Amino acid sequence: MALHLVVNPEYPQPRQVRRIVSELLTGAVIVYPTDTIYGLGCDIFNKKTIERIYQIKQESLKKPLSFVCADLTDLAQYAKNISNTSYRLMKRLLPGPYTFILEASRLVPKVMVSKRKTVGIRVPENEICLAIVRELGHPIVSTSVTRDEDEILNNPADIEARFGKVVDVIVDGGILVSEPSTVVDLTGEEPVVIRKGKGDTALFE
């Protein structure tokens, strides 16, 4: 069964964060909280572990995964050709419940990049999630811990019962009020809302 670590959602214990990162560096698949839903993640530079996530999700390798950055400066390393308008928009909204589709830079592993050479990037407003990424020093994969888009698992106990045998670590940040992130494509001249979720879309209309 997966290692179950309870982490304070407001003040993540450094010792617990270091243990999670140690697991990530050895190829672990983790379940962790975000500001929207519980995510399934791993180190973005570990191709074998990314392939495990596709197996767990029962999804095609052709479906690109998003990832979590620590902040806007971190994000700028993994995306290119960000317009001033898009940068100001993200600065206003991040951290927050948004996934932004951007042109991928060369730093992004090929397995994470879509056919359009784009990538989905998040900076969630969740202290646990951000603490993990900061300690690791680079992004982690971010995809919902479900096999069905209509299913939302927001209770760590339910997640453990369902996925405890196929993931390595469950980072328990308590029960979340779950709703998917709003997905916004920033690769064109104007922002395009791909999916309406928790984030306010009034700014894009």
Measured CA to CA, the distance from residue 29 to residue 142 in angstroms comes to 11
Distance from C-alpha of 38 to C-alpha of 142, rounded to nearest angstrom: 9
Mean pLDDT of 59-78: 92
**Type and span of the H or E element at 38:** strand 38-41
Structure tokens at 95: 């951290």
| CA dist., res. 123 & res. 34, Å (int) | 9
Task: Give tens-digit pLDDT for 10-43.
Answer: 999 999 999 999 999 999 999 999 999 999 999 9
Q: In DSSP terms, which residues pair with 98 in a beta bridge?
A: 182
Q: Which is it for the CA torsion 133, 90, 76, 184, positive or negative?
A: positive
Contacts of residue 128, Cβ cutoff 8 Å, sequence gap at least 6? 7, 9, 12, 17, 32, 33, 171, 173
Please write the tens of the pLDDT for every residue from 171-196. Answer: 999 999 878 899 999 999 899 999 99
**pLDDT tens sequence across 94-118:** 999 999 999 999 999 999 999 999 9
Domain boundaries, the chain: 3-204
Residue 180, helix vs strand vs coil: coil
- Tens digits of residue pLDDT in 86-98: 999 999 999 999 9
Instruction: In whole angstroms, give the CA distance from residue 194 to residue 180.
Output: 12
CATH homologous superfamily of 3-204 equals DHBP synthase (3.90.870.10)
Token reading at 38: 């519980």
Find the helix packing angle between 127-136 and 14-25, rounded to 10°: 50
Q: Long-range contacts: 19-28, Cβ < 8 Å, 24+? A: 20/132, 20/135, 20/169, 20/171, 21/132, 21/135, 21/136, 23/168, 23/169, 24/132, 24/136, 24/140, 25/136, 28/168, 28/169
pTM of the shown model? 0.95
